[in-house]
Amino acid sequence: MIWDQTIIELAPLQRGFHLVTNEVLAQAPSLANCEMGLLHLFIQHTSASLAVNENADPDVRGDLERHFNVIVPENAPHYEHVMEGPDDMPAHIKSILIGPSLTLPVSRGHLALGTWQGIYLCEHRDRAGSRRIVATLQGRW
């Protein structure tokens, strides 16, 4: 059994759902020699999240952003945490709803994602900085 861990740095992105599969794979621990295993990704932020979803049609990402803005609006009168701007508390709620981590299967040196699946960085802040993801690979070589 082999374990490997690294920090993935993603450049700042605008608010929305972003397909980041290639960026993650470029910085993740090498999957090439992993016959079978798991890649665990954990984002070290409370106002962004990770998800797996549609990798082909960008309309899906736009629809997701619009839907989450409807179900978690800015400036709701019941928010008490408002010191960091109107997008901050909704960002925390969205992060909890979607989640901070993914565990993805690795098979024969590649992520075993479905044909239409990709890794999303779900950026919930208007002006966020870079994002850090802890990538831990566990597997059999």
> What domains does the chain contain, in order, with CATH numbers?
2-73+85-140 (2.60.120.460)
Phi-psi region of 67 (alpha: psi -120 to 50; beta: other; left: phi over 0): alpha
Q: What values do phi and psi take at 99, rounded to 5?
A: 110, 155
What would the DSSP string read from start to end of 67-97?
HHHHHS-TT-TT----TT-TTHHHHHHHHHH
- pTM of this structure: 0.96
Cite the DSSP H helix spans in the chain.
Answer: 21-27, 58-71, 88-98
Summarize pLDDT for 38-51 with one digit per residue, the tens.
999 999 999 999 99
Q: Is the pLDDT of residue 1 over 90?
A: no
Q: What is the DSSP letter of 35?
A: S
pLDDT band at 26 (very low <50, low <70, confident <90, very high): very high
- 100-117 average pLDDT score: 97
Residues pairing with 133 in the sheet: 8, 43
Proportion of the chain above pLDDT 70, given as a percent: 100
